[in-house]
Structure formats: C-alpha cells, structure tokens
Chain A
C-alpha cells in the first residue's frame, strides 16, 4: 500500500478514486508514566515514554486506515493528514485521513 501526503504517488498514475478513508485510535497513558512525567516536569527534556506511546498509536491508526482502504479495493492513499487531540483526561486521540485511490 502506497501512502503519500502529496497529490499523487510520484511515478504512477491514479486510475480510480474511492473517497476518504481514515483511521483513529484513542490511547491512555498509565499511572507509572504519569508519575514519571511529573518528575520530568522539573528537569525538562524529552518524555521518551510518551513519545513511544504516541508513536505506537500513530502506527495503529495508520494500519486501520490502510485496512479500510483495502476493503474499498484501493492500493494507495494520497493526501494523508494527521491530527492529534486530547479527548479525555490523560488520553490522546490520533486521527489520520486521506484519499484512497488505485494507482498503476
């Protein structure tokens, strides 16, 4: 499955378009990471645990989008966009959407 966030897949032509596909996950951190982050708040620096958590969430969201595109019969997704929002105390939602197409 080809994925790009420009108008097309370079070197290929788009033959069919299926419309919008999207994938989303909502992930919560757990208490241990919370306490650690609180401590890090004093010293500053990267919160590796959260980076990892949100990275996993994005992978999950992307794979959901790919499977939805596959259901429609597409083999590529163009014009992909990401969106992150905080929807509950301590939980973040990752949303990714794009246009499902068939390329040759």
Chain B
C-alpha cells in the first residue's frame, strides 16, 4: 500500500515540475528564436544568395542534455504495451533540438550564415536499470561563415 502512495506522489511531482519546467523552457526558446531569426541556417553546402568570397569559416556547435521526468517515463512504459506515438517524449525532443540549434547560433553572433547543419541525437541511460533511458542529448553543428566585405553582410 505504501509503495502505491509513493508511486503516485512521485508521479505527481514529475508531472507538476516537469510541466512547469517545460513551459518555462518553451517561453525562453520562443524569445530567443525571435531574436536569432535573422541568422540564416541551412543544411545546404552552398551559401544562400551571393558568391562573395568568404573570409572566415569555422565549425560551430551547440548541445544540450535534457532529462526525462518520472511521469514521462511511466507514460512511455505504458505506451510500450499498446504501441502508438509516445507523446510524452515528443515535447522533450522538440525542446532539446531547438535549444541545441539556438545554442549553436549563439556561439557565433557575428557570422553571416551557418551552412551544412547536422543534428545528432543520443540517449544517455542510467547504468543500473538496463533499458531505462535517463536523458536525451542533442548536438547541432554546422559551419559558420562570414563574407569578405561588410557591404555584402546584408542579403537582399
């Protein structure tokens, strides 16, 4: 009986605090995306627009590790029995990716474009519990380029 009560307490804690943290994170993501939308990011290898000479190119990356809360884990475990989309993990991954891309952009605020964006996702599991996943790590990397002359900085 006690373990049942503990289970529900943990579940509620996971849900409440997880939801709060998620909402806070999403607000922060929205604000930063608005601020950084001017920096073009593509998965193409060629720069958008002009073929002006590039005077500086460097590899930039952003990464984040976000943990799963108890409520999400239980929900995913239940889903495993019936199949279907694991909705509790979708928000987690969405946040992690957007955060990683934002961190990458924040690394090079003076760059003109970021090319060849690639994203790597991996799961980091707790050692003892076998197949239980503890957290998600997302790495976003690309090449940030700056054009030669300052008059070419703004794309028309």
Tell whether any CB of A sits under 8 Å from a CB of B in the complex: yes
A-side residues, CB < 8 A to B, are 7, 17, 19-20, 22, 24-31, 33-34, 53, 60, 78-81, 83, 85-91, 93, 95, 97-99
Interface check B93, CB cutoff 8 A: yes
B79 & A28 in contact (Cβ 8 Å cutoff): yes
For the complex, count residues of B whose C-beta is within 8 A of A. Answer: 39
Stretch binding the partner chain, chosen from B19-27, B51-59, B118-126 = B118-126
A99 & B42 in contact (Cβ 8 Å cutoff): yes
A98 & B90 in contact (Cβ 8 Å cutoff): no
Query: CB within 8 A of B83: which of A7, A28, A89, A97?
Result: A28
Pair count A-B, CB < 8 A: 112
What is the CA–CA distance of A48 and B69 in the complex, to the nearest angstrom? Answer: 33
Nearest 3 A/B pairs, CB to CB? A30-B83, A79-B43, A89-B131
What is the CA–CA distance of A79 and B73 in the complex, to the nearest angstrom? Answer: 34
